[in-house]
């Protein structure tokens, strides 16, 4: 169940997902799980994944830090 923002006993809005997944192209994805998979690639020191801002598009954006070597 998603997080709910209650306004009254019969009024609410959705306040985000409890499972921390995001909808991307109609598929639920976990950005942290994708970042963990990228970090497991040889030569990658660190990685972060997030949704693009509305002005950027509707997909994911990955930030990858290569190992110094």
Other CB atoms within 10 A of residue 50 CB: 13
| Position 10 in a domain | no
Q: Which residue has the higher pLDDT, 41 or 15?
A: 41
Percent of the chain with pLDDT over 90: 54
Range of the domain at 52: 19-66
| Position 25 in a domain | yes
| Position 34 in a domain | yes
Percent of the chain with pLDDT over 70: 99
| Position 36 in a domain | yes
Inform me whether the pLDDT recorded for 46 exceeds 90: yes
Q: Please tell me whether residue 67 adopts helix, strand or coil conformation.
A: coil
| Position 48 in a domain | yes
CA terminus-to-terminus distance, the chain: 45
Look at the chain and report how many structural domains it folds into: 1
Inform me whether the pLDDT recorded for 1 exceeds 70: no
Inform me whether the pLDDT recorded for 38 exceeds 70: yes
d(CA 12, CA 25): 26
Write the pLDDT tens digit of every residue in 3-32: 888 999 889 988 877 777 888 888 989 999
């Amino acid at each position: 169940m998603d997080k709910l923002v209650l306004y009254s006993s019969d009024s609410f809005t959705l306040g985000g997902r409890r499972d921390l997944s995001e909808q991307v192209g109609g598929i639920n994805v976990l950005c942290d799980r994708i970042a963990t998979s990228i970090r497991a690639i040889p030569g990658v020191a660190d990685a972060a994944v997030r949704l693009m801002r509305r002005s950027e598009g509707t997909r994911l954006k990955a930030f990858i830090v290569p190992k110094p070597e």
